[in-house]
């Protein structure tokens, strides 16, 4: 009685590359490994340059700086120590976190909401939002609201939050 090695077939598709491998488990494993080795460098490179923000991490970094209530996002640090751009960015960051946590329905805030919370006239609010848009910290949504961008989130976590904490003594 002879024992024939088992035979398997595996089909793999990635973007425009598609392969089918057949053979013994060992042969297919080697072929699969070779196939993935071709793509792993690009996966690793893409991972290194991808802008990603961990919600738990950024929320932890915002502790004592922003807060969420049923009425919306709030800034907990003295506003007198913040620039208008920092204030707007913090409001949009708080709204982002609230939205991601399911506490706030809308992804963005309207210009009127931001103006009210900033406490400045419409022209100053528009000018500051224009600066944030130009710096790609903020984007306009389809509903004509403003939301923080992924780049803005990274900048907040890396540069702005530490600066705000330093200025406010947190």
Q: Is the dihedral of CA 31, 34, 38, 40 positive or negative?
A: positive
For residue 36, the model assigns a pLDDT of 75
For residue 70, the model assigns a pLDDT of 80
For residue 3, the model assigns a pLDDT of 58
For residue 89, the model assigns a pLDDT of 96
For residue 69, the model assigns a pLDDT of 85
pTM for this entry: 0.71
Q: Does residue 65 contact residue 164 with C-beta atoms inside 8 Å?
A: yes
111 CB-near residues (< 8 Å, 6+ apart): 122, 125, 126, 129, 144, 145, 146
For residue 28, the model assigns a pLDDT of 86
Tokens encoding 24: 């013994």
- All domains of the chain, ordered by start, with CATH? 8-49 (no CATH), 55-168 (1.10.10.10)
User: Using alpha carbons only, what angle is made at residue 69 by residues 65 and 72, rounded to the nearest 5 degrees?
Assistant: 90
62-85 core/surface letters (b: 16 or more CB in 10 A; e: else): beebbebeeebbebebeeeebebb
For residue 29, the model assigns a pLDDT of 86
For residue 27, the model assigns a pLDDT of 86
Q: Which residues of the chain have pLDDT under 70?
A: 1-5, 39-48, 50-51
């Amino acid at each position: 009685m002879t024992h024939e090695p088992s035979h398997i077939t595996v089909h793999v598709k990635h973007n425009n590359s598609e392969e089918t491998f057949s053979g013994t488990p060992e042969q297919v494993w080697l072929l699969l490994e070779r196939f993935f080795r071709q793509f792993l460098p690009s996966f690793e490179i893409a991972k290194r340059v991808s802008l990603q923000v961990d919600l738990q991490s950024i929320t932890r970094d915002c502790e004592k700086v922003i807060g969420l209530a049923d009425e919306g996002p709030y800034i907990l640090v003295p506003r007198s120590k913040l620039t208008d751009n920092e204030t707007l960015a913090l409001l949009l960051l708080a709204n982002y976190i609230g939205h991601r946590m399911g506490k706030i329905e809308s992804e963005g805030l309207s210009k009127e909401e931001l103006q009210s919370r900033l406490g400045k006239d419409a022209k100053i609010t528009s000018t500051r939002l224009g600066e944030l848009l130009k710096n790609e910290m903020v984007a306009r949504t389809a509903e004509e609201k403003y939301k923080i961008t992924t780049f803005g989130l990274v900048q907040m976590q890396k540069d702005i939050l530490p600066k705000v904490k330093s200025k406010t003594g947190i």
